[in-house]
Amino acid sequence: LQPRRGIRLSAPAAIQVTVRDALNQALDEELERDERVFLLGEEVAQYDGAYKISRGLWKKYGDKRVIDTPISEMGFTGIAVGAAMVWLRPVCEFMTFNFSMQAIDQVINSAAKTCYMSAGSIAVPIVFRGPNGASAGVAAQHSQCFAAWYGHCPGLKVVSPWSSEDAKGLLKASIRDDNPVVMLENELLYGVPFEMSEQAQSKDFIVPIGKAKIEKQGTHVTLVSHSRPVGHCLEAAAVLAKEGIECEVINLRTIRPMDIETVEASVVKTNHLVTVEGGWPQFGVGAEICARIMEGPAFNYLDAPAVRVTGADVPMPYAKILEDNCIPQVKDIIFAVKKTLNI
């Protein structure tokens, strides 16, 4: 087929990819690239993963690279940390990060502290990953956000993706990192399709750990978020734009180390700050951002107090109507923006 004169035929540069498929691509590419990488966790192999993130990987790489474990987070996390200490690169999946509390001794005392206190001479190149925060109708024991918990701990890197590019790029960067990394995904995002650029489709694509992304430029107020609430911030920004309020939306991507410089530069421009997160308010990610802004040069540019939008300060109820009222909604973000702008 010859194109008519003046018409250029080319393949589309971007495609739609779900977060689930982006994570699967990242695991597949890294298992293929480095024979030291292996995946372990409950149902990751023969069942293709509880959320189908590891679909097809066991058939492709076999029992030694994709390993089903018993329901014992303490046990298989300890095995993974020990393997990382002898320079294998395990990816340790928790069926939900709520269950990582069973293995918090291995994550903090064994992985994070050993790597830090040895000045990296005992590297622990491991990724702890799985769904984090609220899903739908799974109550308190499956709905907690651990961004603040793990972001509190020296020796860990903590990442929290929103889009498919975030998920693929951050997982690949985490697997290649010589430090222990906690990757906090969101179950409700797994089936959501996002546009993936031609660059992100490359096997060499990574998202640098510790660098935030400005998802939308704006001049009146800075919205800072991570994971699923980034989408809520963009929805709120679209509504507010119709009223002449231009929000700058920042996707943190990384909780630790936090890219406070990008937030500061935005606050200097907009003079207003609203943080949005699904976790509890006390000692949360938003609280840390507000403290860092207050302690730094951007504080002098604020025209109003910073405002936090968070989850309710209660264990997650099971009833849907109560659950909806415990999770930040678009209307809550709009209210907070108008509050800080005094309109």
The domain 16-201 having CATH identifier 3.40.640.10: the answer here is no
- Which backbone phi and psi does 330 adopt, to 5 degrees? -55, -40
For residues 163 and 201, give the distance between their C-alpha atoms in angstroms, rounded to a whole number: 14
Phi-psi region of 318 (alpha: psi -120 to 50; beta: other; left: phi over 0): alpha
Q: Which CATH architecture has domain 213-341?
A: 3-Layer(aba) Sandwich (3.40)
Which residues, at least 6 apart from 144, have a Cβ–Cβ distance to it below 8 Å?
Answer: 97, 98, 133, 279, 316
Instruction: Please give the single-letter amino acid code of residue 217.
Output: Q
Annotated catalytic residue within 42, 93, 142, 187:
142
Instruction: Please give the single-letter amino acid code of residue 264.
Output: E
Provide CATH 3.40.50.970 ranges for the chain. 16-201
Q: What is the pLDDT, as a whole number, of residue 7? A: 52
For residues 167 and 48, give the distance between their C-alpha atoms in angstroms, rounded to a whole number: 18
- Which backbone phi and psi does 89 adopt, to 5 degrees? -125, 80
Is 246 a known active-site residue? no
Annotated catalytic residue within 30, 42, 73, 185:
73
Beta-ladder partners of 40: 67, 92
Residues lower than pLDDT 70 in the chain: 1-12
Which residues, at least 6 apart from 322, have a Cβ–Cβ distance to it below 8 Å?
Answer: none
Q: What is the pLDDT, as a whole number, of residue 12? A: 58
H helices of 108-178, where? 113-117, 147-151, 164-176
pTM above 0.85, yes or no: yes
Tokens 């504080």 sit at which residue?
A: 299
CA neighbours closer than 13 Å in the CB half-sphere of residue 65 = 18
Is 142 a known active-site residue? yes
Which residues, at least 6 apart from 189, have a Cβ–Cβ distance to it below 8 Å?
Answer: 19, 162, 167, 227, 228
Q: Are residues 291 and 244 in contact, defined by beta-carbon separation less than 8 angstroms? A: no
Which residues, at least 6 apart from 73, have a Cβ–Cβ distance to it below 8 Å?
Answer: 94, 99, 100, 102, 103
**Which tokens in the block code for residue 236?**
């709120």
Which residues, at least 6 apart from 218, have a Cβ–Cβ distance to it below 8 Å?
Answer: 237, 246, 247, 248, 249, 270
Q: Are residues 127 and 183 in contact, defined by beta-carbon separation less than 8 angstroms? A: yes
Provide CATH 3.40.50.920 ranges for the chain. 213-341
Phi-psi region of 153 (alpha: psi -120 to 50; beta: other; left: phi over 0): beta
